[in-house]
Amino acid sequence: MPTSSEQAEAARLPEFLAEHTPFQASTADELAALAEGAAIERFPAGVVVADYAARVPDEVWMVRDGMVALRASGDGALIDVVGPGGIFGYMPLLTGAGMDFEARTAAPSTLIRLPGALVRAQFAKPAGLAFLASSGWNRAAAERPTIAPATDSRPVAELVHGDVLLVEPGETVREVVTKMTEHHVSYALIRLPDGGLGIFTDRDLRTRVVAAGRPVDVSISSVMSAPARTVTADLTADSVLMEMLECGLRHMPVLTVRGEVVGVLEDADLLAASARQSFLLRRSIALATDATQLRAVGHQVTGTAVALFRSGTKAVATSAILSVVIDSLVRRALELVVAQGDRVPAGGFAWLTLGSVARREAMPSSDVDSALSWRDDLAAEAPRLRSLAGAVHDLLDDAGLPSDRNGAIAAKPKFSRSQSDWRTAAHGWLDDPLRDRGLMFSSLLIDGRVVWGDPGLHTVPAAYQRMREEHPNALRLQLLDALSGRMKTRSLRDVLSRRGGTFDLKNHAVTPIVNLARWGGLAAGVTSASTPTRLEAAAQAGALSERDARTLGDVFAMLQRLRMAHQVDQITAGRTPGDIVASSELSPLNRSLLGDGLREIAAVRRRVGNLGFSGV
């Protein structure tokens, strides 16, 4: 016979159920029926509550207090930990199939056994469907083979897995979510009449159906996102990861060049757990409501880069993710300053990121270069726009992102102009690259990328897209400039021979590659792009041989790894990160790699210098 305390606990059961998904939308009668059919059971720690590989359940368990660990039946790998208010066993119940995991108490626990038939009815409701959409495939995700974060250049076709869920536009939300649950996926693709694709995800279910109060019997076409952003199967994991980071996407359909669906990538396919920190950090940046909060979040940026690199993410991917996070911080700082309301109109101008951040090659030591371009009709607002830029950089400085040490910032007149003035300046640099430091300005603005505002206001790149055909002399001067910087071989010899001395990894090793790649990209008609992308384009256009482009790309990746490792060590030691290395800071292997790399750069420079002028 139940004790008085047990009777009291049973009486409170409907209230407890109503506080947790998927029962928050249940009626009082439904809660009463669930409570009447439920059983409250107590387990000591270390007890197997259910082995789902052995049978298909007819009940669902909810944790009243304590903790239950879900582990793979074979190797015991931890899948999930369920705490108070959490439920388990619903996936094998709903699919009617066993699953290869068991539930074991991780501490003394009180569990509620709920009747399967009544719980199944709750999952047919919007709240239940939303719960499934956000949680129902955790087990399926856990069964995937461990995929390294996007640390190599494998084509994404090698990373997609499983069958693709394609549905018709006329199917209902209820039908589609049921199929998503059965297939253990968090999306559905919708084939559109014109041959394109729409996509419906767990997020769409929560925001466009449940939160909007729409019935689950509406057609999927009324709540899908269309057209879906897609990528082709030949793109590398790194490049797709960057697009997903920039757009805030969790799903990316992968197509053949003919438009056939190969599969759908999810963020978990590309990101290790540590890399997800960048998503969380960007979310914190977006949620910062004032300068104080943004400063606090900004000081986490460097730590995120350190954690990424130490977790095994390659330096080039770490740099790219760091660049995306910096862009997010810049955008939020700009939004907060604009929101003050008395500085400038919110529209009509574009904020450009320049330098290594624009190329997606930021390091923890990177500072923030910027430029502004505004509509011609806002000429009278120039002083206020520059004042706004100064306020943004002040906020970024306080948040741990220092302004460019050489003054390449949007608060300066040289880096803040109208769209027509930028266009005029670009044509002037092409006609006479040596006038008004045209080579330097053009190199910075060609790298530039719009991170806030209308991309059409960045008028410089368009002037340079046919440089090879229309301005060959200016292109030759770009090459001369790329080859003019002397390699600091003496200081390198001192470092390599362990006689002491220092060497600047950025200025004396990375920059020569970046400059050659920029020239090669311009010869190919490519303006704003990463250094590896420019090298590939240069090879395809014949400005560089395939061998030289590949060599420079390999050396660039090695140098970025040395830089990142050096700066991470400096940060760990409590020092300011930078690119100056001493012999004592390099292992024998890295000294050898650095020496070989510098010799390769010098050899490519000689070959390009001998052949480049006739080849452009």
pLDDT in tens, 118-131: 888 787 666 666 66
Exposure of 134 in the CB half-sphere (CA atoms within 13 A): 13
Residue bearing the bigger pLDDT, 87 or 239: 87
Q: How far apart are CA 178 and CA 164, in angstroms?
A: 15
Other residues' Cβ atoms within 10 Å of the Cβ of residue 185: 24
Q: How far apart are CA 589 and CA 569, in angstroms?
A: 17
Peptide bond into 413 cis (omega under 30): no
Q: How far apart are CA 17 and CA 26, in angstroms?
A: 9
Model confidence pLDDT, tens digit, residues 507-528: 889 999 999 999 999 999 988 8
Q: How far apart are CA 416 and CA 403, in angstroms?
A: 15
Instruction: Check if the beta carbon of residue 367 is closer than 8 Å to that of residue 405.
Output: yes
In the predicted model, is pLDDT for residue 410 greater than 70? Answer: yes
* Phi, then psi, of 58 in degrees rounded to 5: -120, 20
Q: Which two tokens stand for residue 326?
A: 């910096």
Other residues' Cβ atoms within 10 Å of the Cβ of residue 149: 24
Q: All domains of the chain, ordered by start, with CATH?
A: 4-121 (2.60.120.10), 156-270 (3.10.580.10), 326-461 (3.30.460.10), 478-611 (1.20.120)
Model confidence pLDDT, tens digit, residues 176-188: 988 887 777 888 9
In the predicted model, is pLDDT for residue 501 greater than 80? Answer: no
Model confidence pLDDT, tens digit, residues 355-387: 999 998 999 999 999 999 999 999 888 999 999
Of the pLDDT bands very low, low, confident and very high (cuts 50, 70, 90), residue 309 is confident
Instruction: Check if the beta carbon of residue 547 is closer than 8 Å to that of residue 604.
Output: no
Q: How far apart are CA 316 and CA 152, in angstroms?
A: 9
Of the pLDDT bands very low, low, confident and very high (cuts 50, 70, 90), residue 150 is very low
Q: Which two tokens stand for residue 103?
A: 């539930």
- pLDDT for 69 equals 84
Q: Which residue has the tokens 């102009």?
A: 417
Q: Which amino acid is at 507?
A: N
In the predicted model, is pLDDT for residue 29 greater than 60? Answer: yes
**pLDDT (average), residues 433-462:** 88
- pLDDT for 74 equals 66
Q: What is the dihedral of CA 81, 86, 88, 94, to 10 degrees?
A: -140
Instruction: Check if the beta carbon of residue 271 is closer than 8 Å to that of residue 244.
Output: no
Pairing label, strands 251-255, 261-266: antiparallel
In the predicted model, is pLDDT for residue 204 greater than 50? Answer: yes
Q: Which amino acid is at 417?
A: R
- Catalogue the long-range contacts made by 542-547 (C-beta closer than 8 Å, 24 or more residues apart): 542/615, 543/519, 543/612, 543/615, 543/616, 544/516, 544/520, 544/604, 544/608, 545/607
Between the two ends of the chain, the Cα-to-Cα distance in Å is 93
Sign of CA dihedral 601, 485, 500, 556: negative
Max distance between CA atoms of the chain, in angstroms, equals 98
Q: Which two tokens stand for residue 222?
A: 């009324």
- pLDDT for 271 equals 56
Mean pLDDT of the chain: 82
In the predicted model, is pLDDT for residue 300 greater than 90? Answer: no
Q: Which amino acid is at 159?
A: L
Q: How far apart are CA 612 and CA 616, in angstroms?
A: 6
Q: Which two tokens stand for residue 603?
A: 């050899």
Q: Which residues contact 243 (CB under 8 A, 6 or more apart)?
A: 229, 231, 249, 252
Q: How far apart are CA 464 and CA 347, in angstroms?
A: 27
**C-alpha distance from residue 92 to each of 47, 54, 73, 263, 544 (Å):** 20, 11, 14, 25, 58
Instruction: Check if the beta carbon of residue 411 is closer than 8 Å to that of residue 317.
Output: no
Q: How far apart are CA 199 and CA 183, in angstroms?
A: 15
